[in-house]
Amino acid sequence: MSNIFIIIIVAVIVCSIIYTFLKNQKISKNGIEADAVVSRIETNENTDADGNVTTSEEYYVTYTNAEGKTVEAKLGNVPGFANVGTKMRIKYLPEKPKYVVKI
């Protein structure tokens, strides 16, 4: 039974990676460019079974879309070193404005 559970977990992880890759490719190919500013950074801590703590950061940007609306979205790729207030160029999908990648 545990082997089936492991296979299911691996399948979910692989599907998630493929989905993210395809979404980012679609944004890169069909997205609209815009200027954005890092609006916030969320730090997440995870503790594994051995008590080891790892941290990860999620970057959020604010930009104005083609309709003139202000949108806050989580970046779809790691921006490298950035602080709140850092300006950058992004691409977003008009039909899903919360899907953005740094260019």
- What are the pLDDT tens digits along the chain (103 aa)? 688 878 888 778 877 777 667 777 777 788 899 999 999 988 888 888 898 998 888 899 999 999 999 999 998 656 567 889 999 999 999 998 998 888 8
The reported pLDDT for the residue numbered 77 is 58
Mapping DSSP to helix (H, G, I), strand (E, B) and coil, where does residue 82 land? coil
Each residue's pLDDT tens digit, 5-22: 788 887 788 777 776 677
| Residue with token string 């815009």 | 34
Per-domain boundaries in the chain? 2-102
Q: Which CATH architecture has domain 2-102?
A: Beta Barrel (2.40)
The reported pLDDT for the residue numbered 24 is 72
Q: What is the pTM of this model?
A: 0.71
